[in-house]
Amino acid sequence: MASSSQAPPEAAQNPVAGVLWMLVTGACFVAVTAMVKTVGSDVPPAQSAFLRYALGLVFVIPMIRPMLRAKLSRRALRLFTLRGAAHTLGVIMWFYAMTQIPIAEVTAMNYLSPVYVTILAAIFLGERLAARRIIAVGVALLGALVILRPGFREVSPGHLAMLVTALSFALGYLVAKIMTDETSPTVVVGMLSITVTIGLAPFAWWVWVPVTWEQAAWLFGVAVFATAGHFTMSMAFQAAPLTVTQPVTFLQLVWATLLGALVFGEPADIWVMLGGALIIGAVSYITLREAMLKRRHRTPAVTETKL
């Protein structure tokens, strides 16, 4: 039997720190949307996306050595290329949507990605969809319909772009899920940055317009806050379980709504908040259910020795 002095991993976790880190994460990602919204349509979406990733390559420098040491196989390179292509499309569509629809709607619809991941994992990875997860997926899709309200208002190209964005990111996440079992997270992140930068380059060249130093500064800020957001999210997951951190993500939608209303003059829409709540609730259930199943699988039975 394990010594009584050995505390389980959960005992060392700090829920308060996890919530605080997740609050900072939400602030970082809202800052990203604000900066992209500030640049607006003065810079074409493909060019804005390219500059965001190109300027962000400075953060990839420490990852170069691990990537060279990884000695990736042809299969791995093909999968990374597929992820890069999917993410390239998703990023272009996201930047485009930011110029077409309110920040709150972009934020709410972006939460559909984990739902698509669940569906794609069942189709391509053979993961089983229990009845409760199917119901959760249905609730999330209902949330999307509440936001879009087809037949009651015009569904703009920005809304369609966000549907493509969420699906593209979901495909990218699915590939990442496969590759994290074969290589380090550093390599996965570094390869994404490089492949997306390369993928965006021809689209940016096609629509290139002169960029001011101010616009370049805003887009570099996007790269900084996006990188910081992913880092603080990792810190949140390390500090507290998903049961604590996942519900906090709803505040990101609240902040995005306030930002749109107070800074950009976008009226708050109760239907967007309601639809977003349905999506986030469903995503939270799927995430927490998956975490519980993994924990059940990993936790030894009472009669087994816990190390």
Residue 256 lies in a domain: yes
Residue 186 lies in a domain: yes
The whole domain housing 45 covers 9-298
Amino acid at 43: V
pLDDT tens-digit series, residues 270-299:
899 899 989 988 888 887 777 676 665 443
Residue 276 lies in a domain: yes
Residue 305 lies in a domain: no
Residue 283 lies in a domain: yes
Q: Token digits for 294?
A: 């993994």
pLDDT tens-digit series, residues 193-244:
999 999 999 999 999 999 999 999 999 999 999 888 878 887 887 787 766 7
Number of folded domains that form the chain: 1
Residue 282 lies in a domain: yes
Residue 19 lies in a domain: yes
Show Cβ contacts of residue 293 under 8 Å, excluding neighbours closer than 6 positions. Answer: none
Residue 224 lies in a domain: yes
Query: Distance between terminal CA atoms of the chain?
Result: 8
Tell if the pTM clears 0.75, that is, is over it. Answer: yes
Nearest to 285 by CA among 122, 114, 72, 155: 114
